[in-house]
Amino acid sequence: MTGFSANLGFLWTELTLPEAIRAAASAGFDAVECHCPYETPAEEVKAALDETGLPMLGINTERGNLAAGENGLAAVPGREQEARALIDQAVAYAKAISARNIHVMAGFANGESAHQSFIENLGYACKEAASHDITIVIEPLNHHDAPGYFLNNADQAADIIAAVGATNLKLMFDCYHIQIMQGDMTRRLEQFMPIIGHIQIAAVPSRAEPDDGELDYRHVMRSIRSLGFSSPVGAEYRPTSTTEAGLGWMTKIA
């Protein structure tokens, strides 16, 4: 059974993170994930996870200086020390709450120097995470939502994963971003499944509930299961109204 993971970066944002974890459990989710949980003490998050029995599938590294519009630092040349400090922060927090994955944010950059910075920082992240049984994931973002983001397609991600050569480096395959940038969803899933560490879904192009838009997630979910992916699929969408009002999609596409 695949099931679904509630992305608490977008769902139940009016609640504290521990309260959101409990809400996800009450709604029938099989797991949770979030973006940047660092303002909440790790022991409070761990207590909510233990209480509900939900695993935390993943967290992100901090994005950097939000006021300056940063969206990660790992591929930004000259920011290696800061990028690795954010990686250290994420590894410590993930260890404390038993999170399975850390999404290392690349940031806005381009060119060969950015490519090399990303590879070197990912190598550092994989080494630091390995002893804690944590997987590092990287996620291509589409050029409408994140113009100028270094990592923007799954082929580029696959090349980087091969270059780093770490067994705990995987692809975060967000169907929303991949559909916008590359399409051909079923074949993309087949092609990249050997390196996929996590999958996320949302309607395309609205990024609303996944029972709307141009992708038939009933078919996508069948494909995911047929390819042997058994971990909960991340629901990373922006609710049209309240989170509770839109949860009908869970039975429609399961």
* pLDDT tens, residue by residue, 21-56: 999 999 999 999 999 999 999 999 999 999 999 999
At 151, the pLDDT band (50, 70, 90 cuts) reads very high
Alpha helices in the chain (DSSP H): 17-26, 42-52, 80-97, 112-130, 154-164, 175-181, 185-192, 217-226, 249-253
> How high does pLDDT run on average in the chain?
97
Residues counted in the chain: 254
54-62 average pLDDT score: 98
Q: What is the pLDDT of residue 181?
A: 97
Q: Are 140 and 150 in contact (CB under 8 A)?
A: no
pLDDT at 3 over 60: yes
Q: What is the pLDDT of residue 2?
A: 80
CA 178 remoteness from chain centre: 13
At 1, the pLDDT band (50, 70, 90 cuts) reads low
% of the chain with per-residue pLDDT over 90: 98
Cis peptide preceding 205, ω within 30 of 0: yes
- Considering 62, 128, 209, 236, which one is annotated as catalytic? 236
At 184, the pLDDT band (50, 70, 90 cuts) reads very high
Active site residue 236: yes
- Considering 62, 128, 139, 209, which one is annotated as catalytic? 139
SS3 state at 199:
strand
* pLDDT tens, residue by residue, 88-128: 999 999 999 999 999 999 999 999 999 999 999 999 999 99
182-192 average pLDDT score: 97
Cα 234 to Cα 72: distance, rounded to the nearest angstrom: 21
59-65 average pLDDT score: 96
